Structure formats: C-alpha cells, structure tokens
Structure 1
C-alpha cells in the first residue's frame, strides 16, 4: 500500500492564497446576511466564493498531479492515481 504524497506548503502557496481569499469572501457574505443586505447582493458574493473555492480545488488537484508526474519520472511517486480516480477528483469539484 502506498502512502499519499503530503502537500508541499512552499509550492502550494497559490492554493493557500486562493483559499484565504475565499475565506475572506465567505466572511463578507456572512456579514452581509447578518446585516440584512439584499438577496441579490448576497448571492452575487456567494457566487464569487463558490468560484474561488472551485479555482482553489482545481489548482490543488493540478499541483498534486504535476508533482506526481514529476516524481514518477524519477521513480519516487508514492501517490499513484488511476485515470478513474483522477476523473472522480476533478468531477467532485464541478
């Protein structure tokens, strides 16, 4: 049994940046709901949060895939995913 490849915080800074941005947007949405802002405004901001989370998820999967491809070239990839597993990861973000 192989062990999953851990996240590399140094190379995943873009993912963290996107997640922190989404976190800030979500806090703004919560504040908007609490202050009784108009539904249309809240939904617009909620859509931005959803988009930011999707982008972070895709970036996360693509970073992991790239890392595994590079590791596989030198024989060190511990987290081999089948084509079906990769497809499920991408589709779970849709």
Structure 2
C-alpha cells in the first residue's frame, strides 16, 4: 500500500485546493461561533462544509476504485480480495458519516 503511487496523484493539486477551501470554511465557522452568529446560519455553513468534504471523499474514492482496486483485480489473488474489502469498508464509513 505505502509503496505504490496513490490513485489520486493525477488530481492531487485539485484535491489540495478543495481541502484548502474546506479549511477556510471551517475557520469561518470558528469565527461565526466566536461572534455569536445566529444558530441557523452556523448550521447552514456546517452543512456546506460537510458537503464539500463529502465531495472530496467521493472523488478520492472514485480514483481509488479506478486505480488501486482495478489494478489489484487485474492482478487477482489475495490482493484483489483485500482491496475490494478495503474499498467496501471505506464506502461503509462514508455512508455512516
């Protein structure tokens, strides 16, 4: 796992840009609470930040499936089974969150 190139490597810059945007949203949330902004407005911004993080997660998951899982399935054997189980567990975590 650690010795291979991540499936998202071709879009790393775009993912970092999106994550910096989410980071800014979270800093904004902190500021809103410090300034005692109306609850519903804070909740609306939390929802937006959550959707932004989910979008990054889904993009990473898609790239993982297209790159890492597809390569493992082509190779077959225990690695294929392990990658499929790993991807299924990641999907389950995303669905629960």
TM-score by length of 2: 0.72
Higher helix share: 2
1:86 aligns with 2:90: no
- The aligned counterpart of 2:39 is 39
Q: CA RMSD in A?
A: 2.6
Q: Report deviation, 1:74.
A: 8.2
CA distance in 2, matches of 1:92, 1:4: 24
- SS of the aligned residue for 1:29 comes to helix
CA distance in 2, matches of 1:14, 1:39: 32
Does the aligned pair in 2 maintain the 1:12–1:60 contact within 8 Å? Answer: no
Q: Report deviation, 1:20.
A: 1.3
- The aligned counterpart of 2:60 is 60
Does the aligned pair in 1 maintain the 2:72–2:83 contact within 8 Å? Answer: no
TM-score by length of 1: 0.74
CA distance in 2, matches of 1:11, 1:26: 23
Q: Give the number of aligned pairs.
A: 89
Residue ranges of structure 1 left out of the alignment (5+ in a row): none
